[in-house]
Amino acid sequence: MGAPTWQDMTARRLWRHALTSPGTSAADVVGAMCGVHAQVMPAAEVSLGLRLEDADRTHVRAALWETHELVKTFGPRGTVHLLPTRELPLWTAALSAAQRAGNPSPKGALLTPEQTDELVEASAAVLADTEMTVDELTEALAERVGSWAADPVMDAFQAKWPRWRQATHTLANRGSLCFGPMRGRKVTYTSPRRWLPDTAPADTERALAHVLTGYLRAYGPATPQHFAQWLSAPRRWAVELFASMGGLVEPVEVEGATLYQVAGDAAAPPAPAPEVLLLPYFDAYTVGCHPRDVVFPGPARRRALARGQAGTHPVLFVDGLAAGVWHQRRSGRHLDITVEALAPLPPARRDAVAEQAERVGRILQASPRPAFDTVTVGPHA
């Protein structure tokens, strides 16, 4: 077998992301992806729905709020993600280690380490068997640890947030808090131990190995710098982590670039990769795959990235590479999907785009109306 090419690696990534062969288990698919970005839940529903057989958003919601095979919490980069509930102890241990390595507390931090420890213990206790809104949780924490937790000292959106909220990511990364179901328009938090009552904290070394090898299977081959960017961790720490993994990772040459993959990972996709994909905002494949010049070639880098940041536009992929952008606008039962291809598409691929639009519509339980035109809205629109 010859040296791998980027075409080989792209096909393998699509397969590992269940975009070649959709899966049947939400937890298995989300685990293989190393999480689904869920800051915007309709986008998360499309991301996961595209990777499950005959699924729509009700299947995603059931996995999250009924069977609890998924948990909504703060994941890589401190952003909201869906993760497999059974893997949460591994994720919390790994994210806590990365956060400590990054030393995120600013100079003159408003919370001391001792106060943070108090909040971890208190939030786990008050959320043990219920969901609370931010206001309810603020009141409960202040009652338990002292009024300092509720002091309005954080600048946020022309308002002041209570002091405890600067520790929200830390509380999630230490396993004492996750998201509960929405209460109308209000976010709620709860304790993940409601669904994992007997789970002990994971060993940090084992947890880091789990996350790193999972990342390399889904997004590799990659460099420590790519991993650091994906996790939002210090680059030096990532380099040291790769070096500490011993026989778990190995270097590989891809078209002149030296990267890393899981040792012995020579598996090839069993089925052809899809020619065309419509992936939503902050889809894991869009955000995590590098090098950017390979994944977003030529004009796609300028059109589909926002100052180098991936995920801010829904992306049209052709043969696994960015080839345009798209936008959706819902109007009642209808879903207008505008697709802007950066190069002319032959009729067969235009038909494939229409099929993808139909799939997005089924997931969102709407009737799609696809069109090829210029997308005039900007990022995050």
pLDDT digits (tens, 9 = 90+) for 241-279: 999 998 999 999 999 999 999 999 988 888 888 999 999
| Res 244: pLDDT | 96
Above 60 in pLDDT, residue 103?
no
Predicted local distance difference test score (pLDDT) of residue 176: 95
**230, 95 contact by CB (below 8 A):** no
Q: What percent of the chain has pLDDT over 90?
A: 86
Task: Note whether 179 and 190 are within 8 A (CB).
Answer: yes
Q: What is the model's pLDDT at position 153?
A: 86
Cα 59 to chain centroid, rounded: 18
Alpha-carbon torsion (72, 74, 75, 79), positive or negative: positive
Residue 109: per-residue pLDDT: 56
On the question of pLDDT at 300 being above 80, the answer is yes
- Checking if the pLDDT of 70 tops 60, the result is yes
- Across 46-55, average pLDDT: 97
Share of the chain above pLDDT 70, in %: 97
Does residue 66 carry a pLDDT above 90?
yes
pLDDT at 1 over 70: no
- DSSP class of residue 20 equals S
pLDDT for 3 equals 81
**Beta-carbon contacts of residue 340 (< 8 Å; ≥ 6 apart):** 303, 316, 324, 325, 326, 372, 373, 374, 375
Predicted confidence band of residue 201 (pLDDT cuts 50, 70, 90): confident
pLDDT band for position 372 (cuts 50, 70, 90)? very high
- Tell me the C-alpha distance between 326 and 376, whole Å: 10
Q: What is the reported pLDDT for 171?
A: 95
Predicted confidence (pLDDT) at residue 182 exceeds the cutoff of 80: yes
Residue 144 has pLDDT above 60, yes or no: yes
**Would you place residue 200 in the very low, low, confident or very high pLDDT band (cuts 50, 70, 90)?**
confident
Per-residue tokens: 183: 């209460």
* Positive or negative: CA dihedral 206, 209, 215, 218: negative
Residue-averaged pLDDT of the chain: 93
Residue 141: CB atoms within 10 A of its CB come to 28
Residue 107 has pLDDT above 70, yes or no: no
- 22 by DSSP, 3-state: which? coil
pLDDT at 130: 97
Residue 8 amino acid letter: D
Contacts of 329 (CB under 8 A, 6+ apart): 335, 336, 338
110-129 tens-digit pLDDT: 889 999 999 999 999 999 99
Q: Choose between 99 and 7: higher pLDDT.
A: 7
353-358 average pLDDT score: 97
Residue 256 φ/ψ region, left for φ over 0, alpha for ψ in the -120 to 50 degree band, beta for the rest: left
Name the residue ranges covered by the structural domains of the chain. 205-262, 276-372
In the predicted structure, residue 208 carries a pLDDT above the cut 80: yes
Per the CB < 8 A criterion, the answer to whether 312 and 306 are in contact is: yes
Average pLDDT estimate for 295-314: 93
Per-residue model confidence as pLDDT tens digits over 24-39 = 999 999 999 999 999 9
According to the 3-state scheme, what is the secondary structure of 138-189? HHHHHHHHCHHHHCEEEEECCEEEEHHHHHHHHHHHCCCCEEEEEECCEEEE
How is residue 272 annotated by DSSP? P
Q: Read off the pLDDT of each residue in 46-58 and give the average, rounded to a whole number.
A: 97
H-type alpha helices, the chain: 6-16, 26-33, 41-49, 57-65, 88-102, 113-126, 134-145, 168-173, 204-219, 224-231, 235-244, 284-288, 292-295, 299-304, 347-363
CATH architecture under which domain 205-262 falls: Orthogonal Bundle (1.10)
